[in-house]
Amino acid sequence: MHGRPYRDRRDAGRRLAACLTDPARATAVPLGPGALVLGLPRGGVLVAAEVAAALGAELDVVAVRKLGLPGRPELAMGALAAVGEAVESVRSEVVLARVAVDPDAAEEVRRAELAELRRRQHAYRGDRPPPALAGRTVVLVDDGLATGSTMRAALAAVRAAGAAAVVVAVPVGTPDVCAALDADEVVCPLTPEPFGAVGRHYDDFGETSDDEVRSALAGAPGPGPA
C-alpha cells in the first residue's frame, strides 16, 4: 500500500491514460492512434509513454526549459519550448510584476537555457526530424503542473507548429493553473488545495535521467497516420 496518490510516474501515466480513454469523458477531443503524444522532459516523458501506449499513439518530446530569475533560479520568470528549430517563449507576468530583472542578466539566463534546450533535443532525438504537427491532435503530458510556465510555453510551441487541437494531460495540478491554460481540453484527475510541490503527490519522485527518457522513446509506437 502506498501512502500518496501515485506510486511513481509510470503509475501516474497508467491512471492518467485510464481517464483519457474513459468513454464517459464529456466534451472530449477525440483521441486515437492518429494523435501525437508529446512528453515534457524529463519526468513527463515517462508519464507520456504510458498514455501513448494506451492510445496506440506516436510518442515524442517537446523540449522545454524554465527561465529562472537571476540569483533565484527556483522562481520562474518565464519558459522556453521548441518543436524543431522554432522556439516559443512565455513570460510569468505575476513574477515580473513583483521583481525588477536586469535585462542583461535575463538574456544571459535565456541563452544558457536555450543551449540546454538544444542539448536535450539532440540527446533525446538525435538527428531525427521533428514530428509533424500540422492538422493533428496533440496531447501534451507532464508529471504535474505547479506554476504552469513550461506547459504554457509548450502550448505556444505546438500551436505555432500547426496543431489542430491540443489536450493537456497531467496526473496532478494546481486548480487555477489548469483552469487558465489555453488548451482545447485539460485532463487532470487530481487538483488538491493546498497544492504544495508536485513531488508530494508521488511515493517515488526521483530525478529522471536522459537515459530513461531515451529508453521510453525507444519503446514507444512509431509514427501514426497524420
Residues 6+ apart with CB under 8 A from 119: none
Q: For Cα atoms 28, 30, 34, give the angle at the middle one, nearest 5 degrees.
A: 150
Label each residue of 34-48 as H, E or C: CCEEEECCCHHHHHH
Map residue 89 onto helix, strand or coil. strand
- Whole-structure pTM value: 0.92
Domains and CATH numbers, the chain: 9-62+126-218 (3.40.50.2020), 66-124 (no CATH)
Indicate the DSSP class of residue 221. Answer: -
Interval 108-130: pLDDT, tens: 999 999 999 999 999 998 888 99
Burial of 224 (0-12, 13-18, 19+ CB in 10 A): middle
Mean pLDDT, the chain, rounded, equals 91
